[in-house]
Structure 1
Amino acid sequence: MNYRFQNLLGAPYRGGNAVVTNNTLLISPVGNRISVTDLIKSRTLTLPCHASSNIARIAASPDGLFLLAVDDKSRCLFINLHRRVVLHRISFKKPVGAIKFSPDGTLIAVGVGKLLQIWRSPGFKKEFFPFELIRTFADCDDKVTVLNWSPDSNYILAGSKDLTARLFCVKKLSGFNKPYMFLGHRDVIVGVFFGVDKKTNRVSRVYTLSRDGSIFSWSYSGIDGKFDNNAEPPSPGTPEQLPNQSGENEGNGNVKKRKHFDGGDGNLDEESEILLHKGKWELLRKDYFMQSPAKLTACDYHQGLDLVVVGFSNGVFGLYQMPDFICIHLLSISREKITTAVFNDLGNWLTFGCAKLGQLLVWEWKSESYILKQQGHYFDVNCLAYSPDSQLLATGADDNKIKVWTVSSGFCFVTFSEHTNAVTALHFMANNHCLLSASLDGTVRAWDLFRYRNFRTFTTPSSKQFVSLASDQSGEVICAGTLDSFEIFVWSMKTGRLLDVLSGHEGPVHGLMFSPTNATLASSSWDRTVRLWDVFEGKGAVETFSHTHDVLTVVYRPDGKQLACSTLDGQIHFWDPIDGLLMYTIEGRRDISGGRLMTDRRTAANSSSGKCFTTLCYSADGSYILAGGSSKYICMYDIADQVLLRRFQITHNLSLDGVLDFLNSKNMTESGPLNLIDDDNSDAEDGVDKQTRGNLAYDLPGSMPNRGRPIIRTKCLRIAPTGRSWAAATTEGVLVYSVDESFIFDPTDLDLDVTPEAVDVALSEDQPNRALVLSLRLNEDALIKKCILAINPVDIPAVASSVPFRYLQRLIEAFANLLENCPHLELVLRWSQELCKAHGHSIQQNSRNLLPALKSLQKAITRLHQDLADTCSSNEYLLRYLCSTSTKK
């Protein structure tokens, strides 16, 4: 029951800007969630907090502790990255075009529509008004698009759609009422940056970049500060010059009076004041990237190296040395628009994102090598499959690709793209090194996960569309169900020959599964039947279970003694496959209902369309079942009592259709819902295609009733063999839910004398078996591990035999957790061996209850074994040398 959201796979990047903190942490938005990738450890995690719609802009504090995330609805989250919690929330009144922390981390600049607002950054303490508005500048004539701070946090450069860049002073100074304007661009400003003189360590240049591919370099003149008070200002809107130094104009506001504003704790240095807004800025040079007709869509500047990186709408990026505008690299990474480009702190890594392809790249420009290369599925994920050891997760989608992910790191390490149509079913073989896939292109393929190649292809005499897949326990027979001919094809795994064709269904065969205990094949079809087949004896259909509605899917319980199938009327039927009797029926229409589409004429409570389960999955012990379908909910049922245990809402993203239960009537017009009326011309202004993602059906003519808004649904559910996690293929991506790392306090056999102090006393009195039993009764994870490590290896056989069987599952789970974070592999293996010797018969009799814990332990041991094998093989010759030298000595 204690499953919580852990990670989001299948969509590393979907739009918005990416940021790099602490030089190695890459933070990027994924829909309405935020993904954090450790570029050194090659791990990615998704924060459990989420916005109300797709995130458009993010900004990280200079120390990498806080994060600001603004969604499409202008709602902002202030997140503590280390704790992964939302500290504060605020809503802006206009769309946010840019947001950025000041270099000292005390202020936040936000471009809200035409306004530039300066807010004081919140801290750790709880406040009634955590965000304090310091200043508002209303000088821009159009939407603010980009922002940048000066190194001393006293000045801000802002570029907008009015083709100008402006220099604002944060402090309130008399005589400086209007910003300095940088003019001359002929398109929207997409980048503004301060250049620092390395000798004086002061701002001496400004770079402005526009969407038409031009970069203007501005230099400051009159650094000595000697200005004529009667001279004309350098450009319209430039403030008055400084008063003379004799103090005669002190009443008009001299430097001493300008050092504080609004009670702020920052001072304006006199020299920096003269340097930036009292001098004359000159246009040093104009340069062009010469990529027409492509538009410049992303850029970044590194002050220390004086480098500029730019990305274009045709997938080309360039790296230039400034101020001489020397091209270092000019390469193409895709054919789609680059939506973000950013340097890391050291400037040796470049991060690029392409929203349309779901692509995220980190490139080291000096060695010209990839640090990270991740790409999600372009369309919705159709199917999932866990490997037998629960370490790998395979996904197949409508983009014809199969991706294999490492569950612990969240990284995709191989992509298979040989299929020419949508991938509809996946299945891991028992040996963990072979993956099967079925596709609408009429082939079933077998993939070798050692050599990463397609080593066998199963075909039929005439082209068919396969939508289901199954393999027997021995891996000798492969079966696939079809969408068009309503048949089941049977192949030999060794020879690849077609063995048999099972006929009898009168509708598409969407469900197929072998019994875990024998060679019986179960199939479900839209012809309202579930059929059992004897594949090896060639007897054909041996049993038929009839239903009153179309059967959508079928699954076996892990022990093979029960069969579950879902029907179009929203019910789940449980059958006894041995006696052919109906055991239970769960009515789930009301449980899965929820969410109203924009085009629905009825409320969510009264709507009858789509209220059914399209995917089912048993738990590892078979006591409960997960069910999902065309809804924002995934339901968990207790089978014996036929009750709903829990409903998981897979998303709160209002950018998707079917999330809201009640629609606001004020958004309804005579022409239909206001959200579906496309009156936005921003894409035509940008000169690039609109970035959309979703199901393949949404991109077909005449099949887009909601104008590209993806409808939330669950297409596939799979529980890991360990039982500690499960994955769901949804419109949002592949959601992975897992139990907590540290157990919630859940004691058993608690008494007054069962306390942590009693455990310590038992350990001090050299009573390891009593201490271990007390810790197991308390069910405190830290105490159990403490007792395990405190037991002498010589005493392990005696202690293992004295542990009561009812605590055995908890002890095995503790061993699995212990292996994740400690180096005591031999100790755990010794414990496992002694537990099998002492309780082998009991474990065998209660294998169903102990299976999830045993699978978790096996997964942890297998992972360590692979790590050690890789380390030893890579250091084989070094180990031989060390052994030979030790022998000689």
Structure 2
Amino acid sequence: MKFAFKFSNLLGTVYRKGDLVFTKDGNSVISPVGNKITIYDLKNNKSKTLCIESSFNFEHLALSPNNSTLVAINEKGDASLVSMISQTVIHTHRFNRPVNFVTFTPDGLHLIVAKENTVFVFKAPGLYNGEYVQFHLARVYENTAEEAVHLTISDDSNIIAVGYRDGSVRLHGIKKFKNFFIYSFSSHSDSIKCLAFEVKSLDLISVSRDGTLCIWESNIEPSDLVPFTNQPPPQKKKKKKSKSFGGDQEESEDEVDLTSGEMRDEMVEPESNEAPDIPEDSSYEKLNYKRLGRHFLSDLNSDKHARVSCASYHQTGKVLVVGFSNGSFYLLEMPDVNLIHSLSISESEITAVSFNVTGDWLALGCSDRGQLLVWEWQSETYVLKQQGHSNAVSSVAYSHDGQFIASGGEDGKVKLWNVHTGFCFVTFSEHDSPVSAVHFSNTRKFVLSASVDGTVRAFDLTRYRNFRTFTTPRPVQLNCLALDSTSEFVAAGGQDVFEIYIWSMKLGRLLEVLSGHEGPVSCIEFSPVLSSTGMVSVSWDKTIKLWNAVETSTQHETIHLTSDALCVAYKPDGTEIVVSTLDGQLLMFNVESAAQVGSIEARRDLDTGRLDTDLVTREQTLKAKAVSTLCYSADGSCILAAGQSKHICIYSSREGILLKKFTVTQNKSLDGINDFINRRKMTEFGNIALVETRESREGGNVHLKLPGVRSGDMAARVLKPEVRVLCVKFSPTGQAWVAATSEGVHIYSLDPGHVFDPFLLDISITPQSVKEALAEQDYAKALMMSLKLNEQGLIIHVLESVRTRDIALTVRSLAEVYQEKLLKVIAAMLEVSKHIEFYVTWAVELLSQLRSPSQTTLVHLQRNLNKKYGDLAKICDFNIYTLQLISRLGPLRIKPKVEKMETNSSDEEQDSEDEEDAEIRVLEEQEV
């Protein structure tokens, strides 16, 4: 078992807050998800979360015009310069204050950042200007005491329009012009939400928070702006005489003023309200604006209390979209302000809106619901419609082949996710209360979910409907769920009623009620052995009970513990169980003898942080921590354990030692990340983080949650969620594992290409010797040596060099241990290779020779074959439907020609005779 697991994707959360940015080709949208960034490929229907992480949640994004550089700024003002080619962070810059807006100029030469009442102009690194100094400051504009909240740039990248919180708008020039220096106007009484220039013009559109839309007309065009070089008048050359062999010669020297000319423009100069050093030239027409119209967009909305939360303008299409705080948005045709379309996507505020390059697609983000939409407004269809769990994800489960993941949330929803695409393809919302557990059937025909509303529901994976509901004789809060290996019996344990209920999946009725626990049933598990009805249950009454659930339901064996039991997991072979207790111990027991065979001290490995509300030290808090979720690996050699901490641990089940520890997140926007509380926050009244802060303009947002409240809407208060891992599961293929955390569902996968792990390696085995054996057509020897080196590229090279007729003989020449390793490589190659039939031939020959192949390898092979089958089925269906369409259109195209021939028969006959005579003459000439 190798432990080179890397973060690969993030599910369960599609959007948190911040800007939405389209790539320049318009086929992908970039979304900030907490302290990570996810790219949704709308053309290939895939999502990928970048392996970069910030210390706080990202809020603002800006993409360079050539798609090579992304600037991401978090809520504390830390900017990360991300290379979209290598998808890594190149440089980090701290603004030390929250940033309100960031964007690139259309020419890509500058990066504009608005922070508080200051606007910074940086030189953008890249090929446009040939400079690669990160965040090289070129200009600073600081003109008012109000906060700059929005800005836009003209098409020629010369004029910046900045909108402020008081509703005023100021225009600045990146360069100095003779007929323009600073221009300001105000016609709004609230904060500016959108500013936009027209195409190749200085005409401006402004939208404020109260719904006021103003259209401004400029008296000059961008070409009328005269740049001011700020050069002094030319000076006369000084001449001096020098003696030489040829006599006296005159030499000229040019006096160079380093502070004049273009050098002065490159210096950082803060602008002010005072007149410039060089007065404007009166011979040129000065820039001036005239208001053409003023419209009130709030009249379009039925809710008069709704405010404009975001807006965006597409210059080429002249379409303005305005999003409101009540979840509705409006498309307007400019400059006549004609309503094109209106739609309400939710009851929550729309926090971000953006057009793609062509203006056909519109991306909308809703922070409260975690919703992301890409809408094609012309056809009124959804290109992308994704929504994560609005609350924490409480449980996850893998399907039997590892292709799908089911997640249950505290919002009462069950979502199914495709592992390859990262998209949610179905959502079940039949539960009325938080979902406590989910489970896939071994046949992959249905998925089960248990909820604290007292029901267990079965959902069909073919028609996507709730086809069966299991209930209890009296209302019970169900907090655990189990399904036997044959998918015939369903069991659930109660939290307030200390009983276990067993239903028949086929009959849909209650079979047994198991009593015996004296505390809440925390976890139950069926034996993974086929045709076995053995079951284990643990409870807060400090006992483990082993049941034969169907044959002798009332008889059970009890194992007493020293502390409350929190969770239990079966080993894949069914011979052993592991139990987590409240005192931080992991105890292993043999199922047959009920004897303890091992123990692990896991409390110190959690290494939890300190909460802002903690009144005790970190060492004392650690004593109360324990593992709340665990599972065995696919081969049973390791145990994956986690709890109320940011760490996930992998233990060896045989030696009982810690093998590797993973840190789920470093996001300080969550509580419990820091090991120590900053002493600057400690006052005589306690921790300043617990002091309520209200914004008078917004009506009083409170940053402190109610005492004792850990889930729900927190009484509409701003909360800082606590970092914790609620559920962990290993993939049946053994190549990945998943964790349900406070930030969503994290997938960690194994990348064997980056791990050098030789197998029975000899000093004589080298890549050169493998190629020599391959040149001699000794395929079995070359394949065996490449498997010993265990280099993926070399193994694939040898495999694809073997002729198809020699595959059977090569497989028979390999030992069984090499056949097993080769089957793993074949299973992995079926996922990415185009030579499907070639590798399927290898797989058939290997399966015919292997006596007992590994179950994880077979599951991996089945998953990739199903994926290829699904991809080919789509292509075949498309080809079939295309051929049917062509066959039907054929007679329709021939029929008009036949009618035309009948009407013009005489003329066509004459033309045809002339054509035949011409062809005969041509043939005769060729023969001659």
Tell me the TM-score normalized by structure 2. Answer: 0.86
Change in CA separation of 1:174 and 1:135 when aligned onto 2, cut-off 3 Å: farther
User: How far does residue 877 in structure 1 lie from its aligned partner after superposition?
Assistant: 6.1
Note the alpha carbon deviations across 1:582-629, whole angstroms, 9 max, x for none.
000101111112211111223323324541000011000000001011
State how far apart, in whole Å, the 1-side matches of 2:196 and 2:703 are.
27
- Residue in structure 1 matching 2:66, options 60, 63, 68: 63
State how far apart, in whole Å, the 1-side matches of 2:628 and 2:130 are.
45
User: How far does residue 880 in structure 1 lie from its aligned partner after superposition?
Assistant: 8.7
Q: Which residue of 2 aligns with 1:627?
A: 641
Q: Which residue of 2 aligns with 1:509?
A: 521
Note the alpha carbon deviations across 1:36-70, whole angstroms, 9 max, x for none.
10011111111111110111111111111111111
Q: Secondary structure at the match of 1:698?
A: coil
Q: Which residue of 2 aligns with 1:136?
A: 140
Change in CA separation of 1:360 and 1:878 when aligned onto 2, cut-off 3 Å: closer
Are 2:16 and 1:14 aligned? yes
State how far apart, in whole Å, the 2-side matches of 1:736 and 1:541 are.
40
Are 2:190 and 1:187 aligned? yes
Contact map agreement 2:820 2:850 (CA 8 A) in 1: no
Q: Which residue of 2 aligns with 1:207?
A: 205
User: How far does residue 165 in structure 1 lie from its aligned partner after superposition?
Assistant: 1.2
State how far apart, in whole Å, the 2-side matches of 1:807 and 1:274 are.
87
State how far apart, in whole Å, the 2-side matches of 1:516 and 1:614 are.
21
User: How far does residue 135 in structure 1 lie from its aligned partner after superposition?
Assistant: 0.9
Code of the residue aligned with 2:654 in structure 1: it is A
Q: Which residue of 1 aligns with 2:315?
A: 303
Change in CA separation of 1:804 and 1:147 when aligned onto 2, cut-off 3 Å: farther
Change in CA separation of 1:400 and 1:471 when aligned onto 2, cut-off 3 Å: same
Change in CA separation of 1:330 and 1:91 when aligned onto 2, cut-off 3 Å: same
State how far apart, in whole Å, the 2-side matches of 1:688 and 1:792 are.
74
- Residue in structure 2 matching 1:778, options 789, 797, 803: 789
Q: Which residue of 2 aligns with 1:612?
A: 626
Note the alpha carbon deviations across 1:99-151, whole angstroms, 9 max, x for none.
11111222110011110001112349999962211111101321111121211
Equivalent residues in 2 for 1:288-299 (5 A)?
288-289=296-297, 290=299, 291=301, 292-299=304-311
Q: Which residue of 2 aligns with 1:104?
A: 107
Contact map agreement 1:625 1:636 (CA 8 A) in 2: yes
Q: Which residue of 2 aligns with 1:286?
A: 294
State how far apart, in whole Å, the 1-side matches of 2:706 and 2:781 are.
58
Q: Secondary structure at the match of 2:353?
A: strand
Are 2:501 and 1:489 aligned? yes
Contact map agreement 2:202 2:222 (CA 8 A) in 1: no
- Residue in structure 1 matching 2:407, options 395, 409, 416: 395
Q: Which residue of 1 aligns with 2:870?
A: 866
Q: Secondary structure at the match of 1:342?
A: strand
Contact map agreement 1:356 1:691 (CA 8 A) in 2: no
Change in CA separation of 1:169 and 1:556 when aligned onto 2, cut-off 3 Å: same
Equivalent residues in 2 for 1:754-773 (5 A)?
754-773=765-784
Change in CA separation of 1:420 and 1:242 when aligned onto 2, cut-off 3 Å: closer
Q: Secondary structure at the match of 1:607?
A: helix
Q: Percent identity?
A: 40
Further displaced range: 87-96 or 746-755: 746-755
Note the alpha carbon deviations across 1:832-865, whole angstroms, 9 max, x for none.
221122222xxx2xx5xx3333321221112112
State how far apart, in whole Å, the 2-side matches of 1:531 and 1:158 are.
69
State how far apart, in whole Å, the 2-side matches of 1:3 and 1:98 are.
36
The runs of 5 or more residues in structure 1 that have no matched partner are 197-201, 228-240, 252-256, 265-272, 885-889
Q: Which has the larger radius of gyration?
A: 2
Q: Secondary structure at the match of 2:203?
A: strand
State how far apart, in whole Å, the 1-side matches of 2:401 and 2:708 are.
32
- Residue in structure 2 matching 1:638, options 649, 652, 672: 652
Q: Secondary structure at the match of 2:201?
A: strand
Contact map agreement 1:698 1:708 (CA 8 A) in 2: no
Change in CA separation of 1:693 and 1:742 when aligned onto 2, cut-off 3 Å: farther
State how far apart, in whole Å, the 2-side matches of 1:640 and 1:481 are.
30
Q: Which residue of 2 aligns with 1:335?
A: 347
The runs of 5 or more residues in structure 2 that have no matched partner are 236-259, 268-280, 889-928
Q: Which residue of 2 aligns with 1:801?
A: 812
User: How far does residue 10 in structure 1 lie from its aligned partner after superposition?
Assistant: 0.6
User: How far does residue 691 in structure 1 lie from its aligned partner after superposition?
Assistant: 11
Are 2:573 and 1:573 aligned? no
Q: Secondary structure at the match of 1:16?
A: coil
Equivalent residues in 2 for 1:582-731 (5 A)?
582-608=596-622, 610-681=624-695, 684-686=696-698, 697-698=709-710, 708-731=719-742
User: How far does residue 881 in structure 1 lie from its aligned partner after superposition?
Assistant: 10
State how far apart, in whole Å, the 2-side matches of 1:702 and 1:90 are.
34
Please tell me the root mean square deviation across aligned C-alpha atoms, in Å. 3.2
User: How far does residue 873 in structure 1 lie from its aligned partner after superposition?
Assistant: 4.8
State how far apart, in whole Å, the 2-side matches of 1:659 and 1:490 are.
41
Note the alpha carbon deviations across 1:444-480, whole angstroms, 9 max, x for none.
1110010000111111221111111111111111111
Code of the residue aligned with 1:565 in structure 2: it is V
User: How far does residue 882 in structure 1 lie from its aligned partner after superposition?
Assistant: 11
Change in CA separation of 1:820 and 1:702 when aligned onto 2, cut-off 3 Å: closer
Change in CA separation of 1:139 and 1:569 when aligned onto 2, cut-off 3 Å: same
Code of the residue aligned with 2:725 in structure 1: it is T
Q: Which residue of 1 aligns with 2:92?
A: 89
State how far apart, in whole Å, the 1-side matches of 2:705 and 2:438 are.
23
Change in CA separation of 1:128 and 1:156 when aligned onto 2, cut-off 3 Å: closer
Contact map agreement 1:514 1:521 (CA 8 A) in 2: yes
The alignment of Structure 1 onto Structure 2 pairs a total of residues equal to 844
Note the alpha carbon deviations across 1:550-572, whole angstroms, 9 max, x for none.
00011101110110110000000
State how far apart, in whole Å, the 2-side matches of 1:543 and 1:667 are.
54
Contact map agreement 2:484 2:490 (CA 8 A) in 1: yes
Are 2:168 and 1:157 aligned? no
State how far apart, in whole Å, the 2-side matches of 1:303 and 1:630 are.
50
Q: Which residue of 2 aligns with 1:533?
A: 547
Q: Which residue of 2 aligns with 1:170?
A: 174
Q: Which residue of 2 aligns with 1:736?
A: 747
Contact map agreement 2:394 2:435 (CA 8 A) in 1: yes
Are 2:78 and 1:75 aligned? yes
Equivalent residues in 2 for 1:275-424 (5 A)?
278-289=286-297, 290=299, 291=301, 292-424=304-436
Contact map agreement 2:319 2:332 (CA 8 A) in 1: yes
Change in CA separation of 1:248 and 1:39 when aligned onto 2, cut-off 3 Å: closer
State how far apart, in whole Å, the 2-side matches of 1:791 and 1:650 are.
43
Code of the residue aligned with 1:93 in structure 2: it is N
Code of the residue aligned with 1:147 in structure 2: it is L
Q: Secondary structure at the match of 1:785?
A: helix
State how far apart, in whole Å, the 1-side matches of 2:16 and 2:392 are.
13
Further displaced range: 403-412 or 289-298: 289-298
Change in CA separation of 1:749 and 1:319 when aligned onto 2, cut-off 3 Å: same
Are 2:537 and 1:523 aligned? yes
Q: Which residue of 2 aligns with 1:838?
A: 849
Note the alpha carbon deviations across 1:407-460, whole angstroms, 9 max, x for none.
111100000001111111111111112101111111111100100001111112
State how far apart, in whole Å, the 2-side matches of 1:163 and 1:587 are.
61
Further displaced range: 831-840 or 454-463: 831-840
State how far apart, in whole Å, the 1-side matches of 2:98 and 2:571 are.
51
Code of the residue aligned with 2:12 in structure 1: it is G
Contact map agreement 1:28 1:36 (CA 8 A) in 2: yes
Contact map agreement 1:566 1:614 (CA 8 A) in 2: yes
Change in CA separation of 1:191 and 1:865 when aligned onto 2, cut-off 3 Å: same
Q: Secondary structure at the match of 2:807?
A: helix
State how far apart, in whole Å, the 2-side matches of 1:506 and 1:590 are.
30
State how far apart, in whole Å, the 2-side matches of 1:728 and 1:532 are.
28
Code of the residue aligned with 2:174 in structure 1: it is V
Are 2:121 and 1:118 aligned? yes
Q: Secondary structure at the match of 1:605?
A: helix
Further displaced range: 389-398 or 274-283: 274-283
State how far apart, in whole Å, the 1-side matches of 2:706 and 2:843 are.
47
Contact map agreement 1:654 1:660 (CA 8 A) in 2: yes
User: How far does residue 676 in structure 1 lie from its aligned partner after superposition?
Assistant: 2.4
